[in-house]
Structure 1
Amino acid sequence: MTDTPTSALPPIAHEELSALSRRAGLVIERLRERVFAPGGRKRLEVTFNVRTAAEMVGRTEKSIREAEADGRLPQPEKDPATGRRLGYSLSDINRMRAVFGTAPHRGPDDPPLVLAVQNFKGGVGKSTVTCHLAQYFALKGYRVCVIDCDSQASTTAVFGFNPDIDVNEEEDTLYPFFRHGGPATLRYALRATCWPGIALIPANLGLYDAEYEFAARMAREPVFLLDRLREGVATIADAFDVVLLDPPPALGMLSLSVLRAANALLIPTPPSNIDFASTAHFLRMLDSTLSELARHGGARDYSFVKILATKMDDQKSAHQAIKRMMDAVFPQDMLAAVLKDSAEIDNAATNLATVYELTGAAARTETHRRCRAYLDAMGREVELLARKTWPSHHKSLRKEGLL
């Protein structure tokens, strides 16, 4: 009788996998202790001098100082040793905008921008784009909500929450909202973040399990599930100018509900053969998926659908060739801005942060300035698209020569 061949490697049992999970969790906790404020909560350390504050607020430095002198604004904090101003926080900037009436909010009759950063392939920069766009809009004074729909919860972690500890899948994520008899509004899940003007609906691994439950229910109640997120966004829309949706990188029920909830799409695509092919497949799937969704819940139109080239490396001739092809194939659909491949983004992500959160010497390098310029260009372009969807902004846009 022939013996059954055996592997030269010992088997990995479930206990070993559990130990790996525990060790990974310990690393995350130590990282949080190192990069977050005392008590485990993330803090925004970014401040602005009076010149930058005046530019952000849309008033002169003199106007700010006069408002401080006559009591409309509080006196700025000063260094006791030198008497110099310590800088303004983003909360201070927003207070100035309120006093001077320069907050850029949408009008009461304007629809909020509900933008899905969507691609069915992982690793294309969805969460990077979502987090930086959210913070760009917050710096400009808009009211922003970020809804993390991805069980990997990268966006949740960047905004300062440990998905495994700070987020309860039964209470804090989208999961309970998709149940019959669940909350009537998404307000239960909104979390304040360290960024003034940004609220977050977090995610964790529980959303992965939810996909299986929702898939089993799809045949029985497709309209309820597909339109549930859209209805939820409508219950909180009055509090925000911009709602950003970060869906999972797969064609599941949550991704489909994101497509139904959004009124605009941004498709991040690295200029590589594999990623471009995946995006081409995504667009074909998007076409057929939207047609199928329309049969169940009615057609869904978008204010705009744009493709954003991400992780672009100008030193790679293949990237340049594919980017030229993308511009030729999608001449009206590409954002002019390009998100370059940058070590600055990677280094910030290592500390569960973004480029907009870097301070001190790290924010004064030429590499940082270049990366910030790419991100600002992306933000300005999406901001202009958003403002074009708001009738109350059209007069200002015409005056600025942008409409």
Structure 2
Amino acid sequence: MPRSENPPQMEITSERIQRLTKELWDRLIERGAAPKFRDDRTLRSFSLGEVAEILGVSGSYLRQLSIDGLGPTPELGTAGRRSYTLRQINELRAYLASARQKEALKFCPRRREGEKLQIISVAAGSASTTTSLYLAQGLALQGYRVLAIDLDANGSLSKMFGYYFPDIIFSDHPASMYAALRYDDDRVSVRSVIQSTHFDGLDFVPGTIELFRFERQSRQRYHSEKLRYPDASIRMVDALKEVEEDYDVVVIHCGGESFLTAGAYEAATGVLMTVRPQMADIASMAMSVDYYSHSVSLIEKAGRPVNHDFTKYLVTRHNPRDVSQQEAVALLRDSLGDDLLTAAVWESGAIRQASMKNQSLYELSAGEVGRSAYEQAMETLNSTNAEVMDILSKIWGRPPMYVARASRTAGKASS
């Protein structure tokens, strides 16, 4: 393909850089090599055994339901093996909640009247992107209506969801939270920036370089008008109120941007902080906690109390055989007490392999990463999610059940 016509002689440096980058990008698009917004991503079907574990019933019971023509009709594979899509799993939930009303909460955990929306802000830290991904997808698999929001201007979580944009603002990609937070008259409803995903019950707001605009504008207001963090953060609260009735849980992935993070903290009903069990990482987390405290104090000084239902800490990328890491976990346990989750996410080659594919283990089968590594990783991930879901159950005044179920499943896998 011939190069474009000669550039204008009076072209300034920024225009030249932008033109050359656009030409390179056009050539990548022609060859199908440019990362782009993907709206054709699909989720695999789940085997009968996987569905039984997700729902907490026996495989024989599900098989009999299928034979009797009750609930959704599964796909029949080789040797009569049954499999269900996530949408069909949610249809099964609705059927079982109706047929076994005493166990309705077990099958259909969505919010009831009087139960408030839970907004979990995952602070930037070790494996915080992976944690946000697995928490949002894990909640959706358990039947919750979930909205995930990426506040990272580099779009780290967005890439895992299949949304990827270049560092140029093109007009044909979905907007980020910036569109719902901006200070001018072009501000729109948050509903207009929410995208559906390949997980039934899970929606998403991508993170793009647009978010830097909000940081820059907020910083200008901070210095010129002395409106401080509260002026920026209240916009996040107002945006999420618009969709309060549509979801059970919102998972916010915080990036390194201070004003956006302050907004995530003010909107949150709970905060989750991740830490790798190494002394340098613990020191880094301590600084993040100090910033968390500073952000909350500014909001409180503005006369708006911050009443989080919980602040929890999660150990990630843990090698339980490493003595120094064992000592680090003990230090965290002594310092944080019950605020440190009992479960920890182990260092896992299976999780790394999935991440390299910009996917999660929920989207892959065991054979794609090795069954043993897959089962071990899923055990730690599901245990972590189970603990968070039991925290939500307690806040909503429900009996805990997820940790016990995860323990039984882990026992089956170990045996």
Match of 2:255 among 245, 248, 262: 248
Residue number in structure 1 paired with 2:92: 96
Q: Identity over the aligned pairs, expressed in percent?
A: 22
Match of 1:174 among 148, 155, 177: 177
Residue number in structure 2 paired with 1:269: 275
Secondary structure of the 2:302 match is: helix
Would you say how many aligned residue pairs link Structure 1 and Structure 2? 375
1:233 aligned onto 2:240: yes
User: How far apart, in 1, do the equivalents of 2:157 and 2:236 lie?
Assistant: 18
Match of 1:140 among 119, 126, 142: 142
8 A Cα contact 1:170 1:176, kept in partner: no
Q: Which amino acid is the alignment partner of residue 133 of structure 1?
A: L
Secondary structure of the 2:252 match is: strand
User: How far apart, in 1, do the equivalents of 2:354 and 2:143 lie?
Assistant: 23
The aligned runs of 1:4-403 (5 Å cut-off) are: 26=28, 30=33, 41-45=40-44, 47-59=45-57, 61=59, 64=62, 68=66, 72-79=70-77, 82=78, 84-101=80-97, 102-119=107-124, 121=125, 124-164=126-166, 172-178=175-181, 179-183=183-187, 185-218=189-222, 219-222=225-228, 223-250=230-257, 252-359=258-365, 361-362=367-368, 365-391=371-397, 393-394=398-399
Q: 1:371 to 1:61 in 2, by over 3 A?
A: closer
Q: With CA pairs under 8 Å and 6+ residues apart, which has the higher RCO, 1 or 2?
A: 1
8 A Cα contact 1:169 1:206, kept in partner: no
8 A Cα contact 2:196 2:203, kept in partner: yes
TM-score (norm 2): 0.80
8 A Cα contact 1:185 1:236, kept in partner: no
In structure 2, runs of 5+ residues without a counterpart are 1-12, 98-106, 406-415
8 A Cα contact 2:390 2:401, kept in partner: no
Question: What is the Cα deviation at residue 131 of structure 1?
Answer: 0.2
8 A Cα contact 1:31 1:351, kept in partner: no
Question: What is the Cα deviation at residue 274 of structure 1?
Answer: 1.8
Q: Which amino acid is the alignment partner of residue 138 of structure 1?
A: A
Secondary structure of the 1:87 match is: strand
Q: 1:264 to 1:169 in 2, by over 3 A?
A: farther
Question: What is the Cα deviation at residue 162 of structure 1?
Answer: 1.7
Question: What is the Cα deviation at residue 22 of structure 1?
Answer: 8.2
Q: Deviations over 1:28-55 (max 9, x none)?
A: 964869xx9xx8622112x223343244
Q: Deviations over 1:58-114 (max 9, x none)?
A: 5555654565566553433224xx561451111110011112222111212101110
Question: What is the Cα deviation at residue 278 of structure 1?
Answer: 1.4
Secondary structure of the 1:314 match is: coil
Q: 1:212 to 1:368 in 2, by over 3 A?
A: same
User: How far apart, in 2, do the equivalents of 1:86 and 1:68 lie?
Assistant: 9
Question: What is the Cα deviation at residue 224 of structure 1?
Answer: 3.5
8 A Cα contact 2:350 2:369, kept in partner: no
Taking only aligned residues, the RMSD between alpha carbons, in angstroms, comes to: 3.2
Q: Which amino acid is the alignment partner of residue 86 of structure 2?
A: L
Question: What is the Cα deviation at residue 181 of structure 1?
Answer: 3.2
Q: 1:337 to 1:354 in 2, by over 3 A?
A: same
8 A Cα contact 2:169 2:209, kept in partner: no
TM-score (norm 1): 0.82
Q: Deviations over 1:95-138 (max 9, x none)?
A: 1111222211121210111000013x5xx111100000111111
In structure 1, runs of 5+ residues without a counterpart are 1-12
